[in-house]
């Protein structure tokens, strides 16, 4: 690990925070302060500030593409046309769940579902969060189903412990190197972080 290199971050939510912390460590640095965790609109309002902060120390900002643009470059150009050299502004196509599903072997083991149920091209899924819930719905583990699948009367899109289960998966099982082979946006995020580490 590169001694003393800390990379600050800003993210949409707690699952994204777990992913970013894992990626920073994987790239050879230490996670610094993590900001945001209040959704995409909150991050967009503060992008200029994050970009300014990156003049002084390395940063990563991670957002989901969702359906906000046709592709990641379009969203990046709309949000921040001139990023600081020390800012990695990365976009998960289409949601960070795609990056997790890309490690199909480990996720199928964690959710206790057949590997054949996992998508072969996670970045092509239009609604990865719903896909993740549907995978959990087919789990052979009742606790996974109870935690990740919403109760019909709840009005929620995910189960009450959906985020905590994914955080557990990221921390204990997820392999960024394997997932990056099937997710171009993840591979680019790792490369960007490694450039920050090399330049520090």
pLDDT (0 to 100) of residue 4: 75
**132 neighbors 126 (Cβ within 8 angstroms):** no
pLDDT (0 to 100) of residue 41: 97
Q: What percent of the chain has pLDDT over 70?
A: 98
Model confidence over 143-198: pLDDT tens digits? 999 999 999 999 999 999 999 999 999 999 999 999 999 999 999 999 999 999 99
Topology of 6-93+183-199 in CATH?
Rossmann fold (3.40.50)
Per-residue confidence band for 1, with pLDDT thresholds at 50, 70 and 90: very low
pLDDT (0 to 100) of residue 168: 98
Model confidence over 17-29: pLDDT tens digits? 999 999 999 999 9
pLDDT (0 to 100) of residue 3: 58
34 DSSP β-pair partners: 9
Model confidence over 86-136: pLDDT tens digits? 999 999 999 999 999 999 999 999 999 999 999 999 999 999 999 999 999
Domain extents for the chain?
Answer: 6-93+183-199, 98-176
In total, the chain counts a number of residues equal to 200
* Rounded CA separation 103/182 (Å): 8
* Rounded CA separation 143/145 (Å): 5
* Rounded CA separation 40/45 (Å): 9
Nearest in space to 99 (alpha carbons), one of 20, 191, 10, 197: 20
């Amino acid at each position: 690990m590169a001694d003393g290199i800390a990379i600050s971050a800003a993210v949409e939510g707690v699952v994204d925070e777990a992913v970013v912390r894992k990626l920073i460590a994987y790239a050879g640095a230490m996670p610094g302060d993590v900001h945001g965790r209040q959704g995409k609109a909150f991050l967009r309002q503060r992008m200029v500030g994050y970009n300014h902060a990156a003049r002084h120390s390395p940063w990563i900002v991670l957002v989901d593409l969702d359906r906000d643009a046709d592709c990641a470059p379009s969203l990046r150009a709309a949000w921040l046309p001139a990023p600081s050299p020390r800012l990695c502004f990365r976009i998960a196509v289409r949601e960070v769940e795609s990056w997790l599903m890309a490690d199909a072997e480990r996720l199928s083991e964690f959710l206790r579902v057949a590997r054949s149920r996992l998508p072969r091209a996670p970045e092509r899924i239009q609604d990865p969060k719903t896909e993740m819930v549907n995978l959990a719905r087919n789990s052979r583990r009742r606790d996974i189903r109870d935690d990740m699948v919403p109760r019909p009367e709840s009005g929620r899109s995910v189960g009450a412990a959906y985020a905590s289960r994914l955080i557990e998966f990221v921390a204990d099982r997820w392999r960024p190197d394997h997932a990056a082979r099937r997710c171009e946006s993840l591979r680019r995020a790792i490369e960007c972080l490694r450039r920050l580490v090399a330049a520090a």
